[in-house]
Amino acid sequence: MSILMPEFDKAVMARRGDIVTALRAIVPGEGVICESRELVPYETDGLTAYRQPPLVVVLPETTAQVAAVLRYCHDNGIKVVPRGAGTSLSGGALPLGDGVLLGLGKFKRIRDIDFDNRVVVTEPGVTNLAISQAVAHAGFYYAPDPSSQIACTIGGNVAENAGGVHCLKYGVTSNNVLGCEIVLMNGEIVRIGGKGCEQPGYDLLGVVNGSEGLLGVITEITVRILQKPATARALMVGFASVEAAGACVAEVIGGGIIPGGMEMMDRLAIHAAEAFVHAGYPLDVEALLLVELDGPVAEVDALIGRVEAIARGCGATTVQVSHSEEERLLFWAGRKAAFPAVGRISPDYLCMDGTIPRGKLPEALARIRELSVKYGLQVANVFHAGDGNLHPLILYDANVPGEMDRAEACGADILRACVDLGGVLTGEHGVGIEKRDLMPTMFSEIDLKQQQRLKCAFDSGGLLNPGKVFPTLHCCAELGYMHVHGGKLAFPDLPRF
């Protein structure tokens, strides 16, 4: 996948000194970063395939400062890229050489914990896991739990509509966010939703969730918290084939059982995770299924028995049930650490993110195997089996000429296969730049124009996170074309690692 972006605005770059001075007047002290060596930590995100130093980084601490920064950039035609913890896996927070990188790392306060209404009001820089930790003493937690939850921030979770292990039963971010405070590109501060479960009017909150920083900058979020279930137990089930494991997933869901979590790993991922975490995973299986049941003790015990019977009926070769909280957490430790574990067996890897109908799991895995052979690259599969969200990890070595290009081509073909099977391009990582040029495989030109009309309603100048999500940019006034493909500046000025 070639990554192309709009040409840099040389007039803006020539005014860099004035821009830095203006931003320092808004965010004094150490809130503006402009020295070359200090910009290095911001020049890429979790995608890590490309890098580009931003024009300047600004780190506001208050909503008023965010509004002032955006208003200044709006009035002066300067692009802005919002950034949380930088853990994006689709290039969503990749900077622009002629744009301001607006970092929200200083927005790290939890403003209100309201147990009566079962909500937490938090700033966007608070990590996902920190929300659960803040309410754990009262027996509550925040349900969406991405594998990066120790580092990723809730603001980024909203931007990408992040999921996680337990989203099969409890929903993704959009199902657990009740309200947001958003600063628009012109500096206007808008509140959407609140502590109540239902709000009148259009579902603007649904629009903001998953908008990838294209519509506004989120400065406050109200999330739903849940009471911890009475008990939770997990099964670790091994299969001689991924097809048998996929069949088991379909049988469990088809039987009316909705597990708290249902994850699958293939042989390569199993071996990598076990060597890293020592969770006790069986190494003589082709697929491992982790199934967690939660709720009242009697209900969980009954469901454990039903799932075990289904698994054995589908040909499970090993079944192990957790009998303590420590053992349950150990089962999950390997899955949670699967991405870094694979990083120990390959110099580099691309983490893809596509979603398919659950019933297509065996066919999807067969297609991935074919593509692995076609491109001569190993692929480790780790995914949310319950909702069909695949995370193939394509292993490559960037120091070997051509391998990164093959890895990107393989990833693009995997995502095309997901769409062919009735799925979608992304489940939780977003489109960013990684999948931007694949959007026409899923959406018609009319679809994309309609989506961009919505973008124009929030950001008529196209200054917020430009070059992301849409393969073709349209002028808001005329809905004419401004292509980013032919002859425009590619990321060669973004050297690969």
Rounded to whole angstroms, the Cα distance separating 255 from 490 reads 50
Q: Helix, strand, or coil here: 125? A: coil
Mean pLDDT of 88-107: 94
Q: Considering only the top CATH level, what class is 346-434? A: alpha beta
Q: What CATH fold (topology level) applies to the domain 110-227?
A: 3.30.465
Indicate where the chain has its CATH 3.30.70.2740 domain(s): 346-434
The answer for residues whose C-beta is within 8 angstroms of residue 322's C-beta and 6 or more apart is 233, 234, 235, 236, 328, 331
Closest-CA residue to 490 (of 154, 41, 50, 28): 50
Q: Please give the backbone phi and psi of residue 240, each rounded to the nearest 5 degrees, phi first.
A: -80, -10
Mean pLDDT of 307-333: 96
In the numeric block, which tokens belong to residue 57? 């980084």
Q: What is the rounded average pLDDT of the residues 442-457?
A: 95
- Distance, in Å, from the CA atom of 58 to the CA atom of 20, rounded to the nearest integer, reads 9
Average pLDDT, the chain: 92
Rounded CA separation 80/110 (Å): 25
Give the pLDDT score at 174. 95
* 3 state SS for 367-421: HHHHHHHHHCCCEEEEEEHHHCEEEEEEEECCCCCCHHHHHHHHHHHHHHHHHHC
Helical H runs in 112-163? 128-135, 154-160
- Check: CB of residue 490 under 8 Å from CB of residue 5: yes
Q: How far apart are the first and last CA of the chain?
A: 16
Evaluate whether 173 touches 206 at the Cβ level (below 8 Å).
no
Beta strands in 205-268 (DSSP E): 217-224, 226-227, 231-239, 261-266
- Report pLDDT digits (tens) over 61-92: 999 999 999 999 999 999 999 999 999 989 99
**What is the per-residue burial (b if ≥16 Cβ within 10 Å, else e) of 131-159?**
bbebbeeeebbbbbbbbbbebbbbbbbbb
Pinpoint the residues of the chain covered by CATH 3.30.43.10: 10-103
Q: b/e for 177-190, b at 16 or more Cβ within 10 A?
A: bbbbbbbbbbbebe
Q: Where in the chain is the domain with CATH 3.30.465.10?
A: 110-227
**DSSP 3-state of 319:** strand
Task: Compute the average pLDDT of residues 122-146.
Answer: 97
Helix (H, G, I), strand (E, B), or coil: what is residue 244? helix
For residues 25 and 243, give the distance between their C-alpha atoms in angstroms, rounded to a whole number. 61
Tokens of 418: 């997901």
Q: Rounded to whole angstroms, how far apart are CA atoms 164 and 147? A: 7
3-class DSSP state for residue 19? helix
- What would the two tokens of residue 187 be? 């500096």
**What is the arithmetic mean of pLDDT over 38-67?**
92
* pLDDT (0 to 100) of residue 47: 74
Nearest CA to 176 out of 184, 186, 189, 166 is that of 166
- C-beta contacts of 134-138 below 8 A and 24+ residues apart: 134/110, 135/225
Under DSSP, the state recorded for 464 is B
Where does the pLDDT of residue 477 fall: very low under 50, low under 70, confident under 90, or very high at 90 and above?
A: low
Q: CATH number for 231-339: choose from 3.20.20.240, 3.40.50.2020, 3.40.50.2030, 3.30.70.3450.
A: 3.30.70.3450
Asked whether 176 and 169 are in contact (CB, 8 A), the reply is: no
Give Cβ neighbours of residue 497 (< 8 Å, ≥ 6 apart).
48, 49, 51, 348, 398
Compute the residue count for the chain: 497
Q: Judge whether residue 39 has pLDDT over 80.
A: yes
Q: How far apart are CA 322 and CA 163, in angstroms?
A: 24
Per-residue confidence at 484, pLDDT binned at 50, 70, 90?
very low
CB-side exposure of 229: number of CA atoms within 13 Å?
A: 19
Tokens of 434: 């990684």
Average pLDDT over residues 147-153: 93
Confidence of residue 231 (pLDDT cuts 50, 70, 90): very high
407, 67 in Cβ contact below 8 A?
no
DSSP, collapsed to helix, strand or coil, labels residue 435 as: coil
Secondary structure element (H or E) that encloses residue 216, with its range: none
What local confidence, expressed as pLDDT, does residue 493 receive?
43
Phi-psi region of 401 (alpha: psi -120 to 50; beta: other; left: phi over 0): beta
**Structure tokens of 198?**
């239902």
Q: Check: CATH 3.40.50.10420 for 10-103?
A: no
pLDDT bin (cut points 50, 70, 90) of residue 5 is: low
In this structure, what token pair is assigned to residue 213?
Answer: 């920083």
The span from the CA of 2 to the CA of 18, in Å, is 34
Question: In the chain, where does the domain assigned CATH 3.30.70.3450 lie?
Answer: 231-339
Reported as a pLDDT band with limits 50, 70 and 90, residue 4 is low
Question: What's the confidence (pLDDT) of residue 196?
Answer: 81
